[in-house]
Amino acid sequence: MDLRSRCSASPSFSGKASNEFITTSQYRRCSTSKTKEMAKQVKLKAEPRTNVGRSAVRKLRTRGLIPAVIYGGNDKPQALQVTARDINAMMSQASGENVLVELEIAGEGSSRTALVQEVQHSPVAGDIRHVDFHAISMDQMIQAEVPLEATGTAVGVKTFGGLLEQSLRALAIECLPANLPDRITVDVSQLNIGDSIHVRDIQFPQGVTPKVQPDLTAFSVVAPVVEEEPVVAEAEAAAAGPEVITEKKEEGEAATAPAPAAKEKAPKEKEQKK
């Protein structure tokens, strides 16, 4: 289905009048999305790990090995160890959050496909301390969260100073491992002030199904907020200042007024004594 057939008419803002936007034309609004690439599948060699516990893990790390575990599927969780050099190289080449791994475990006749489920880092140095792999099957559906990114500059932002708000940073999807996208990008360049893109407006790659409510808002452009300066309040504050100073001066003059009367009484008292 052509995406243009799902576009809806929406008002376009093209001018200003007394700090308010006015509607002058109509334009066809639609959203397009694409994936930069599918999640990469990399090969990684691993060995079964028999020694567990903190002491054994510390010894592994001193030998340049990283503890790992694989779980999921029909097999029991299995403790593994991989070289720090291989795991660092794999993570540095990853272009997204979802990394498909073909694990070649020593002693096993066939490799196992897995997703990197969790990577634990050192809180100080940032070194990789532990890796969790989730075993999957290439012919079974999986669920994952894929980053959602905006491309282009919205016309409402570029022309009218609006603000682009992104309500969803990632989308939960379902697909086969081979169709797992690295990320989903959405073109927001046609959004004007008051326009929005919902999940239902996003065109997902073939074989990918969103697992969130279609009415959720992904992107929207809102009008800029203009704050008015408190001119009246500042004028009142400036006018109140001289009044307080004047009152203090009048009180001071009233306090010093009786002084001359006291000086006049002094000569009369001297005359009476004489």
pLDDT tens digits, residue range 46-80?
A: 999 988 888 888 899 999 999 999 998 888 999 99
| Contact predicate 188/158, CB 8 Å | no
% of residues, the chain, pLDDT over 90:
51
Token output for 125? 């140095």
Q: In which residue ranges of the chain is CATH 2.40.240.10 found? A: 41-135
Angle subtended at Cα 237 by Cα 235 and Cα 243, rounded to the nearest 5 degrees: 110
> In which residue ranges of the chain is CATH 2.170.120.20 found?
3-30+142-222
Give the C-alpha separation, 262 to 107, whole Å. 116
**Confidence (pLDDT) at 11:** 38
Whole-Å CA distances, 90 to 41, 93, 96, 117: 10, 5, 12, 14
Q: What is the pLDDT of residues 93-144, one digit of tens each?
A: 776 778 899 999 998 888 999 999 999 999 988 899 999 999 999 999 999 9
CATH for 41-135, among 3.40.50.1370, 2.30.30.760, 3.30.830.10, 2.40.240.10?
A: 2.40.240.10
Distance from C-alpha of 165 to C-alpha of 154, rounded to nearest angstrom: 11
**Chain segment 132-177, per-residue pLDDT in tens:** 999 999 999 999 999 999 999 999 999 999 999 999 999 999 999 9
Work out the pLDDT band at 36, boundaries 50, 70, 90.
very low
Query: What is the pLDDT, as a whole number, of residue 159?
Result: 94
SS (H, E, C) the chain: CCHHHHCEEEEEEEEEECCEEEEEEEEEECCEEECCCECCEEEEEEEECCCCCHHHHHHHHHCCEEEEEEECCCCCCEEEEEEHHHHHHHHHHCCCCCCEEEEEECCCCCCEEEEEEEEEECCCCCCEEEEEEEECCCCCCEEEEEEEEEECCCHHHHCCCCEEEECCCEEEEEECHHHCECCEEEECCCCCCCCEEEHHHCCCCCCCEECCCCCCEEEEEECCCCCCCCHHHHHHHHHHHHHHHHHHHHHHHHHHCCHHHHHHHHHHHHHHHC
Only one residue has tokens 């001018």, namely 15
Pick the CATH number of 3-30+142-222 from 2.170.120.20, 3.40.50.10420, 3.40.50.720, 3.30.470.20: 2.170.120.20
pLDDT at 235: 56
